[in-house]
Every structure is written in structure tokens, then in C-alpha cells.
Amino acid sequence: MDIQSLPWYAQLLVFLVIGGILFGIFYMLHYSDNQVTIERLDKQIDAVEREIKRAEQKEAQLPRIREDIREKEKVLEDLKEVLPEEKEISQILRKVQSIISGARLRIQKWTTQPDRRKQVYVEMPISIVLDGNYHNLALFFDQLSRLKKIFTVNNLSIKPMSRMTSAFSITASFTASTYTYRERVSKKTRKKKM
């Protein structure tokens, strides 16, 4: 069959059919695959744009977060002033013993108890029994409260002595506790120590 012998409208129809088939093949092989790829990439672009927006929002909050961190670090430094370091404990205990002597009290018992580890600090309790009089005991507690470092007194019990004198009329027993700041040891620091 000769295409040139066909009437012009049949030739046009054959040309359109062949063109349609070629276009269909092109569309199926090249364009539709690219369309799927384009749709997948559009979804990825949308996801990345959402992630960028979230990151920009977080970045906008960054100055406020840094300021919060600076404030928290300042509070922590202030707290470290009141919470002694481990190396200061012996001199603080000597200071307490000096206050006891200065208040003219007699140490009957001084027993350190096991440390109580908390999340941020370590409590170091000491069981103390003192002999003296009310005035000197009050003077001791007043001086103890003026220490820069934190000291707490618990389980206070005051009893009269069986043989009283003007200097020694009572026996006071209590638990005094001081606290130290507990540095958090990171995993990296632990590995370096090993």
C-alpha cells in the first residue's frame, strides 16, 4: 500500500496516527517516568521546606534559649557559692569545731554518717552531742547560721545533765548536715578516666 496514493485526508489521518503512536511511546518511556520522579521530588522538596521552617523557628528561639542558659548558669554559680566543694569540707568542719570551742561547749560525740547522694548535691550528715548551757548553745547555733555555706540541723534534742554546773547544765544532740555540689560526670569524662 502506497501512502501517496491515498487521499489527502487519509494521509493526514495516517500521519496523525503514526505521530500519536510515537508520542505515546515517548510519553510512556520518558515523560511518565519523569513525571513520577518529579512528583517524588516535589514531595521531598515539601518535606525539606517544612524541616527548614522548623529549623528557622528553632533558630529564632535560639537567642532566648541562650539567655535562659546564661541565667541558669548564673544561678548555678550562685548556688555553688553556698554549696562547698568536697575539698572545702574538712576546713568547714574545722570551722564548726572552732565555733563549738568559741561557744564554750564540750564535744561529747562527733560521728560522720554516710553521705546521702541526691541528683544535684551530696548531703554529708554529722551526728553531734554537745555539753554546755542554753546561752552557749544558742550562741553556737547563731554562729552556725552565719556560715556562708549551707548547714542544717535536724533531730535536735536538749536534756538536762544529771550533774549540773553553771557552765554545763544541758546535753544537746542533733544531726548537722552540710551539702556539696555534685558534678555530673559525662560519659566522655568517665571513658577518659578509664
Domain residue ranges of the chain, discontinuous segments joined by +: 1-82, 86-181
Distance, CA of 46 to chain centre: 35
pLDDT of residue 129: 95
pLDDT of residue 194: 42
pLDDT of residue 147: 83
pLDDT of residue 190: 42
Q: Which residues on neighbouring strands pair with residue 160, listed in sequence order? A: 170
Q: How far apart are CA 132 and CA 102, in angstroms?
A: 12
Full-model pTM = 0.54
Q: Which residues on neighbouring strands pair with residue 178, listed in sequence order? A: 124, 151
pLDDT of 193 over the 50 cut: no
pLDDT of residue 189: 46
Tens of pLDDT, residues 104-146: 999 999 998 898 888 778 888 999 999 999 999 999 999 988 8
Query: Class of the 86-181 domain?
Result: alpha beta
Dig out the grid coordinates for 22 from the structure.
510515537
Q: How far apart are CA 155 and CA 174, in angstroms?
A: 5
pLDDT of residue 132: 93
> Shortest CA distance to 164 belongs to which of 139, 129, 132, 138?
132
SS3 content of the chain, % helix, strand, coil (to 5): 60, 20, 20
Tens of pLDDT, residues 87-113: 677 788 888 899 999 999 999 999 988
Q: Is the dihedral of CA 68, 70, 73, 78 positive or negative?
A: negative
Cell 546535753 -> residue: 171
172 with 129: CB under 8 angstroms? yes
Q: How far apart are CA 77 and CA 71, in angstroms?
A: 10
Q: Mean pLDDT in the chain?
A: 84
Q: How far apart are CA 11 and CA 8, in angstroms?
A: 5
pLDDT of residue 186: 46
144 with 128: CB under 8 angstroms? no
